[in-house]
Chains A and B, each alone.
Chain A
Amino acid sequence: NAGVTQTPKFQVLKTGQSMTLQCAQDMNHEYMSWYRQDPGMGLRLIHYSVGAGITDQGEVPNGYNVSRSTTEDFPLRLLSAAPSQTSVYFCASSLQLTVRTGELFFGEGSRLTVL
């Protein structure tokens, strides 16, 4: 029962470096999303996707890119990391966009530190 798998779990970057956070789900979910979690602020939506080839911006999209070439994978790219992107990142998926079709399943998170 893999569910939602995120890699890496921990990463340290220097300012200006690029990296990709990987997210994969094996539940054939159409909806996938990325959140960041910062102290005292709960989770905020970065980007989301409602199916292969379709992505859209969430609440805090600046500095992040996403793509969805397959149903299973939804990578998050940081093109030029900044200290403000130090956070814990969560990938989540659900059967469809509408909440009534099923719950959100979360990965275990990726802790990113930008020096």
Chain B
Amino acid sequence: AQSVTQPDIHITVSEGASLELRCNYSYGATPYLFWYVQSPGQGLQLLLKYFSGDTLVQGIKGFEAEFKRSQSSFNLRKPSVHWSDAAEYFCVVGGYNNNDMRFGAGTRLTVKP
């Protein structure tokens, strides 16, 4: 069965520091992978996605993620965090269809001034 694990429930970083959010998945085939962000009181917004090809994926707001098949991971990174990045981040694994998507439990990011 497919599943996705986000090991860190809550992370605090200083503004300007680098960020890495971890995501590990279990899936029977090559998965489709996504990162979504949920700002306070808002719906979820797609940051980036991986279907195939180049394993380093660029997204919006300066985020990137790297697919590592050998480690079953899809970690999200940003070189310099801004206060507006404070939000909850969800890693999502799925197959061909939208109804196959499985969401991780989320990592809440706090940004210190």
Which A residues are closer than 8 A to B by beta carbons? Answer: 4, 31, 33, 35, 40-45, 48, 56, 58, 90, 92, 94, 97-100, 103-109
Q: How many A-B residue pairs have CB under 8 A?
A: 63
Majority SS of interface residues in chain A? strand
Of the residues A41, A97, A109, contact of B97 by C-beta under 8 Å: A97
**Please, which residues of chain B bring their CB within 8 A of the CB of A90?**
43-44
Q: Is the CB of A33 within 8 A of B46?
A: no
Contacts of A43 in B (CB 8 A): 44, 90, 103
Please list the residues of chain B having a beta carbon within 8 angstroms of any beta carbon in chain A.
4, 9, 32, 41-46, 49, 51, 90, 94, 96-99, 101-106
Apart from A42-B104, A56-B99: 15 A-B pairs, beta carbons within 8 A: A31-B98, A33-B98, A35-B103, A40-B9, A41-B105, A42-B4, A48-B99, A94-B98, A97-B97, A97-B99, A99-B96, A104-B44, A106-B45, A109-B42, A109-B43
A45 to B94, CA, bound (A): 13
**8 Å CB contact of A58 from B9, B44, B99, B105:** B99
